[in-house]
């Protein structure tokens, strides 16, 4: 301070002026420190890693995510559906009951006492049951989401040569959204039935003529049927109730079951993936073979039945509650085989 006062004195400044200048030099840093607040930082953000004057770390500004929100995805999907439905002429938001249409048409054929019924088809169910003794009545019903469906548009063709009636169900090209074409058949009890279909369920009741059915995909059900029956399915169960006769039943993916039935002659039941169950009786002269690769075999037979049994299971148990014999008397012969599963013969 002494040096500063000497400097002002040398410059010829008045004494009062020198005191005010000296005071200003000492007070200026204090005012600058007072004007600068170290505890606050009013800037919105700073460079990443920088800190406020008070020591708190500043956060970098958060950027908006570039991802599309879920509501926006829903809106986009809805617009796509509306566009596709508009191109295809669908009315998705109208009443389903109003859009669902059915049409049917019936045809009658005069036959003798032993008619033959041949049915081939692409898609649809078939129901055959007993009707008049001299007439076959076939009702075709087409249904689907197409208002243009009518009786004349049903894709079924018929032909008759003598007592043989041939029915062919085609895939409709004019009605792409037609669900199926189903057949309901009334036929004499002695009708011989031959079916060859791609898909759909088959149900046959009260028919005693020979029956042959080849089905790619569908359930096969027979009730109160007698005689020789050959059933084949790739994917679907085979079920028989109140059956009497010789049976050949084969399916790849499905179960085979018999209820209140009697096997006679040389019967063969086979499935690749599925169980086999037989509840009923075996004719004394019968020779029955039951086999499955992956499934169980189970029989419920009368308690007094005496059987000749040949069994084999690679991975499973064998249990028989009935009497077995090895003589050549009139006893049912059973050949039972499973690769992976149990074999059980139980009393009714």
Q: What is the pLDDT of residues 28-50, one digit of tens each?
A: 544 444 444 444 444 444 444 44
Kindly state the tokens that stand for 246.
């010789």
Which of 172, 167, 198 shows the shortest CA–CA distance to 184?
167
Residue 9 has pLDDT above 50, yes or no: no
Q: What is the DSSP string of 41-92?
A: ---S--STT-B-TTSPBPPPPPPPP-SPPHHHHHHHHHHHHHHHHHHHT--T
pLDDT band at residue 184 under the 50/70/90 scheme: very high
Structure tokens at 85: 């439905």
3-class DSSP state for residue 209? coil
Q: How many CB atoms lie within 10 A of CB 6?
A: 10
Cβ–Cβ < 8 Å for 301, 280: yes
Distance in angstroms (rounded) separating the CA atoms of residues 290 and 256: 10
Q: Is the pTM of this model over 0.75?
A: no
The candidate with the shortest Cα–Cα distance to 119, out of 227, 217, 214, is: 214
- Give the pLDDT confidence score for residue 13 in this predicted structure: 52
Cβ atoms of 272 and 299 within 8 Å: the answer is no
8-state DSSP, 226: B
Q: Cα–Cα distances in Å, from 198 out to 2, 144, 177?
A: 118, 19, 18
* Coil/strand/helix, residue 173: coil
- Per residue in 60-89, pLDDT (tens digit) is 555 555 566 788 888 888 888 766 655 554
Among 123, 260, 126, 110, CA closest to 193: 126
- Asked if pLDDT for residue 338 goes beyond 70, the answer is yes
pLDDT of residue 154: 85
Mean pLDDT of the chain: 81
Query: How confident is the model at residue 93, as a pLDDT?
Result: 45
Q: Which two tokens stand for residue 106?
A: 């019936």
The answer to whether the CB of 185 falls within 8 A of the CB of 138 is yes
| Average pLDDT value for residue range 297-318 | 94
The mean pLDDT value for 89-95 works out to 46
């Amino acid at each position: 301070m002494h040096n500063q006062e000497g400097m002002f004195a040398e410059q010829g400044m008045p004494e009062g002026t020198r005191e005010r200048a000296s005071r200003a030099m000492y007070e200026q840093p204090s005012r600058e420190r007072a004007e600068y607040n170290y505890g606050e930082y009013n800037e919105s953000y700073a460079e990443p890693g920088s800190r406020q004057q008070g020591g708190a770390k500043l956060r970098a500004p958060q950027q908006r995510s570039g991802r599309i929100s879920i509501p926006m995805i829903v809106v986009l999907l809805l617009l796509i559906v509306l566009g596709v439905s508009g191109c295809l002429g669908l009315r998705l938001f109208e009443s389903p009951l109003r859009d669902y249409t059915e049409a049917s048409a019936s045809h009658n054929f005069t036959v003798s006492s032993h008619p033959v019924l041949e049915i081939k088809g692409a898609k649809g169910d078939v129901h055959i049951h007993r009707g008049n003794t001299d007439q076959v009545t076939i009702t075709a019903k087409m249904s689907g989401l197409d208002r243009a469906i009518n009786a004349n548009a049903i894709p079924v063709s018929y032909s008759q040569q003598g007592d043989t009636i041939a029915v062919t169900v085609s895939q409709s090209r004019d009605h792409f959204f037609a669900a199926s074409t189903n057949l309901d058949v009334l036929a004499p009890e002695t009708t011989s039935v031959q079916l060859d279909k791609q898909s759909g369920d088959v149900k046959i009741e009260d028919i005693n003529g020979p029956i042959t059915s080849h089905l790619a995909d569908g359930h096969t059900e027979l009730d109160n049927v007698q005689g020789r029956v050959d059933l084949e399915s790739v994917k679907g169960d085979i079920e028989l109730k109140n059956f009497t006769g010789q049976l050949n039943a084969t399916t790849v993916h499905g179960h085979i079951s018999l209820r209140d039935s009697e096997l006679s002659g040389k019967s063969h039941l086979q499935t690749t993936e599925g169980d086999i169950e037989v509840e009923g009786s075996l004719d004394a002269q019968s020779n029955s073979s039951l086999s499955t690769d992956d499934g169980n075999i189970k029989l419920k037979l009368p308690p007094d039945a005496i059987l000749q049994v040949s069994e084999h299971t690679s991975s499973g148990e064998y249990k028989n509650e009935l009497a077995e014999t090895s003589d050549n008397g009139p006893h049912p012969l059973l050949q039972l085989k499973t690769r992976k599963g149990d074999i059980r013969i139980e009393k009714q």
